[in-house]
Amino acid sequence: MELERQLLHKNREIGRAFSQITLDDDYNLPDFKPDLTKVIRERGEILFEEIHVNNGHVWFKGTLAFTILYRTDLDSKKINCLKGEIPFQESLSVDGAGELDPVKLDGKIEDISVSVINSRKLSIRSLVEFHAIIEKPEEESILTGLKEEDACEVEKEQMGVLELITDKKDTLRIRKEISLSSNKPNMDEILWSSVELRAINSRLKNGEIEVTGEALIYVLYSGAEEDDRLQWFETTVPVQGAVECNTCEEALVYRISAHLAQAGLEILKDEDGEERNFMLEMVLNLAIRLWKEDTVEMISDIYALDRQVTPRFKTSSFEKLLLKNEAKCRISDKIEMDDMQEDVLQICASEESLAIEQTTVTEDGVLAEGILTVELLYLTSDESMPLGSKRAFLPFSQMIEMPKTDGSVKIHLDGGIDQVTTVLSDSKTIDVKAILSLNLLAFEEQEKQLITEIEEAELDLAALQQSPGIVGYIAKDGDRLFGIAKEHHTTIENLMETNHLTNMFVKPGEKLLIIKTVG
């Protein structure tokens, strides 16, 4: 028997693992850096250098790159910056992981703290979470037809599925020159800088993926003039670019995550030879997944009248799109300064990061809960400590509507920051308003019995002759006309003709006359 099959591509999860570790190290200031009296601000970033899978383990090594803004003991230059790294090497256990299996590894800094041991030595402590997911691409073979000469009775079923057609990573590079505004003095040294993505959107076009949004740039620098030692500059830069993708079509279902992997600012001289320009270089890592919605007409059961035909089944899982929804979450909150902190004269910069801590499927939809972290740099009234910082954690929750379903649901929720404003209400209070973007992609999982092979044998004529030629049958709940015909060795066509049926559906309690058919 010659079978016709359709191949569907999907990913099968091999396993996942989670680990939480503490990176703790002492760090000595380089000789060219001035003594440290107080830490103003610190931040860190996880950078992976090597990742490989072997014998059920994901092995990786990298560095925790940290940046510290601190107060010095120099009257001429009270603020300075320090950069360094702490190396690490770890492993995660994932049962069934093989050497060639692709792995997605993420490192997240939950907390980082810096304490002063002495003026030349720091203690750096960071709590880091590592997540690893191993998914293996595989093909699912679905029986869709037989050669015309194979005289078999077949039952077909239409199944809506999502086929994974692209799962890859790409990069988008942006390079742009930025000039200081005319009211700002020339630069001497960059003390602190940040680059943050805002309102990032992706759109599929034929053959490419377009990425748009903006980058919020903040720079704290020492002025070149003696009376302008501490300055700050803020601007936005449009993010616009495209990456090639041969499988792209506008109608596809997609999930594209953009992550700022690298951002650098370099001081440049302008046309007059003055240091008033920056060169911004950004690298965005794009995680791209594309699915195609399809309807497959599969053979769900089969038999023959002239021979014994036995299908063999296996249970397989498929996904279909339940919902793609983009929701906006608005936050309005206050940040109260501690009594021990200096009064705020002016906010210099506000840096934000978003973390979705939990997603819960409820009767009303998907409840997303998370934290918006706000890091402030501000000018103080204390001349000995002209710069201060404040970190605040603002919780949020948002219900995203989703259709009810009896099956299991797989949730993908990505969050982004569209806009944040911080306004000084008084010297101890800051009003915060934010708009967050929550992009929900929900898949309904469905299990199907697939025919893997069909065995053929000669018809058992003795058993067939012993079965009655005419049967009166009362339909039960869940009966299918195909199943009744198969069990009593006849065809659906004969059943419908004998019982004057106008459609393929049979009601519980309906009486049928069945006449055995011999092929």
What tens digit of pLDDT does each residue of 461-509 get?
Answer: 888 888 888 999 999 998 999 999 999 999 999 999 999 998 888 999 9
Whether 312 maps to a domain, the answer reads no
Count the Cβ atoms, other than its own, within 10 Å of residue 155: 18
Q: Return the amino acid letter for 353.
A: S
Q: Which helix (H) or strand (E) holds 482?
A: helix 481-487
pLDDT in tens, 348-379: 999 999 999 999 999 889 999 999 999 999 99
Tokens standing for residue 82: 């320090």
Mark whether 288 and 348 lie in a shared domain.
no
Mark whether 426 and 282 lie in a shared domain.
no
Whether 299 maps to a domain, the answer reads yes
Count the Cβ atoms, other than its own, within 10 Å of residue 455: 10
Mark whether 297 and 358 lie in a shared domain.
no
Burial class (CB in 10 A: 0-12, 13-18, 19+), 340: exposed
Whether 209 maps to a domain, the answer reads yes
Mark whether 156 and 299 lie in a shared domain.
yes
Nearest to 390, CA basis, from 403, 379, 400: 379
Mark whether 155 and 290 lie in a shared domain.
yes
Mark whether 36 and 15 lie in a shared domain.
yes
Mark whether 296 and 169 lie in a shared domain.
yes
Domain stops at, among 80, 112, 142: 142
Whole-number Å distance between alpha carbons of 183 and 276: 11
Is the pLDDT at 405 greater than 90, yes or no? no
Nearest to 136, CA basis, from 304, 297, 13, 4: 13
Mark whether 169 and 294 lie in a shared domain.
yes
HSE of 272 in the Cβ direction (CA atoms, 13 Å)?
A: 6
Whether 457 maps to a domain, the answer reads no
Mark whether 137 and 155 lie in a shared domain.
no
Q: What is the pTM of this model?
A: 0.88
Whether 316 maps to a domain, the answer reads no
Nearest to 261, CA basis, from 195, 200, 198: 195
Higher pLDDT: 74 or 498? It is 498
Domain stops at, among 120, 142, 164: 142
Whether 310 maps to a domain, the answer reads no
Whole-number Å distance between alpha carbons of 436 and 418: 5
| Structural domain span for residue 28 | 11-142
Cβ neighbours for 45, distance < 8 A, ≥ 6 positions apart: 64, 65, 66, 109
Cβ neighbours for 280, distance < 8 A, ≥ 6 positions apart: 174, 175, 176, 177, 178, 195, 215, 217, 237, 263, 264, 265
CATH code at position 475: 3.10.350.10
pLDDT in tens, 163-222: 999 999 999 999 999 999 998 999 988 999 999 999 999 999 989 999 999 999 999 998
Domain stops at, among 108, 142, 176: 142
Longest dimension (CA), the chain: 110
Mark whether 59 and 15 lie in a shared domain.
yes
Whether 447 maps to a domain, the answer reads yes
- How many structural domains are present in the chain? 4
